Structure 1
Amino acid sequence: MSSRLHDAAPGEGGVLLSRGGLRVRLAQGAADVAAAQRLRGLAFFGPEGGADVDPLDTRCSHALIEDRTGQLQACFRYLWLDTSAEIGNSYSAQYYDLQRLAGYGGPMIELGRFCTRPGLVDPDVLRLAWGAITALVDRGGARMLFGCASFAGTDPAPYAEAFGFLAARHAAPERWQIGAKAAERVAFAPAEAEARGVMRLIPPLLRTYLGMGGWVSDHAVVDRQMNTLHVFTGVETAAIPPARAKALRTIAG
């Protein structure tokens, strides 16, 4: 991991950012990582599903968003890549052909396993998480954020309108087009749809990416282990709308 990214967490205990009764900090050891894995399991699989443990966890940094009592409210992990040539080592590369993005240049951050405690209704938790991500981007000079945005379930039928909208309005630029790799996938057919109606079908995290100018692959991958359909999403940090970038930097301080 780049030393520049270590500079993004100067606070005691790995604290990245704190506001009011909330703080974002980096996991400091196995117990912190295990807590994140338990919350992920609760969010993704329910109370009987057990912890969500993935082999990439050992190579990622884990961010924990806690309330004033120390209870974990949300978490995400990120993989810092010093250069786009390393993108083949990412989680997303298991499912997508990312050959074109290998030539993008500069540092990248892959975000993954972003989740909140079930039933959470505090928007400040997500705002603080994005403030911390903004600090990581700025202090490390990341040129792109990317990851897999997940739709619940493996049946594409309920999301046909959303997939058509994504293909028509938010397709990746041709020069960065994401290639197919997974055996089980769902191709998108571009279709016009009213944004107001279709946005309810799009997961909140993906809506956030789109609001930052993000773009997506032309297909979804069927992930039966996670019981999701996931879509590759990229956000070129230099292309984030100025008003959105200003708001994020205000949170990041």
Structure 2
Amino acid sequence: MVMLNKGRYRARITEAAEDISAAQRLRHLAFFGGDGSAVDQDAFDFECSHILVEDCATGVLVCCFRFLRLSNGDAIDQTYSAQFYELTALRDFDGPMIEMGRFCIHPDWTDPDILRVAWGAMTSYVDENGVEMLFGCSSFEGTDEGQYLDAFAMLRDRHIAPKRWLPRVKAPKVFRFAARLRRKPNLKLAQLRMPPLLRTYLMMGGWVSDHAVVDQKMNTLHVFTGLEIKAIPPARKRLLRAIST
């Protein structure tokens, strides 16, 4: 089902096996490299819906992500994120939730409109289904925290989750940046080193865990990221809805 046509791109939602296979190939290419024939897959793929962003003229898949809808926080322990974070606090969230994951853009495509269209599609789904929270894992490339210290210091100072929702440590190897970092962030460097997806969450009022998980399998550092829809600034909501229509 096509959700959005915007400029040269279209976004559509799918649960079809052949589309999921295409997304898995793009994910492997984006996360691990290779020739585009190998796949990145796990058991969550067939529990989730997937959004594909394609070039309208050629049909080339340029971006994809998956999402899992929850009626409320009761099933939070069954999510992908719960493998890495202790999410007991979020069991009390009383409203529809979406876990977003495996977000990637084709490494040969750098058009910023791709990210805008992806968020426009998600905005459309959120509005149509009354979703009240988005959450997931936002990843920094590589496992060397030293290259991201300014970004982590900015997260510590400005974007730690409210205590009522704060994820606790569960993974065996983590970087406790909120407790360990003492540096004052260089805000320019922090923005430069912040992953684009996480930067977008933060611009909308999102928050993060107080620690990053060291994920050797994916070769990333990732932080749990949450966004309550009611917290999105009105001007940002208007911009997102303009993209989604």
Q: CA deviation at 1:194?
A: 3.3
Q: CA deviation at 1:124?
A: 1.7
Give the 3-state SS of the residue equivalent to 1:176 in structure 2. Answer: coil
Task: Give 1:174-253 correspondences, 5 Å limit.
Answer: 174-188=163-177, 189=180, 191-253=183-245
Q: CA deviation at 1:59?
A: 0.4
Q: Does 1:22 align with 2:31?
A: no
Task: Give me the CA root mean square deviation.
Answer: 1.3
Residue 62 of structure 1 aligns to which amino acid in structure 2? H
Of 74, 81, 104, the match for 1:85: 74
Distance in structure 1 (CA, Å) of the matches to 2:62 and 2:82: 29
Of 46, 49, 52, the match for 2:33: 46
Residue 243 of structure 2 aligns to which amino acid in structure 1? I
Distance in structure 1 (CA, Å) of the matches to 2:8 and 2:208: 35
Q: CA deviation at 1:220?
A: 0.5
Task: Give 1:56-135 correspondences, 5 Å limit.
Answer: 56-68=44-56, 69-135=58-124
Residue 169 of structure 2 aligns to which amino acid in structure 1? A
Give the 3-state SS of the residue equivalent to 1:79 in structure 2. Answer: strand
- Per the normalisation by structure 2, the TM-score is 0.94
Q: Runs of 4+ in structure 1 displaced over 3 angstroms?
A: none
**Aligned-residue identity in percent:** 54
Gaps of 5+ in 2: none
Match of 2:158 in 1: 169
Match of 1:31 in 2: 18
Distance in structure 2 (CA, Å) of the matches to 1:28 and 1:173: 34
Deviates more, 1:26-35 or 1:188-197: 188-197
- Per the normalisation by structure 1, the TM-score is 0.91
Distance in structure 2 (CA, Å) of the matches to 1:57 and 1:173: 30
Match of 2:144 in 1: 155
Residue 18 of structure 1 aligns to which amino acid in structure 2? N
Q: CA deviation at 1:48?
A: 5.0
Q: CA deviation at 1:213?
A: 0.6
Distance in structure 1 (CA, Å) of the matches to 2:193 and 2:110: 19
Match of 1:9 in 2: none
Q: How many residues align?
A: 240
Gaps of 5+ in 1: 1-13
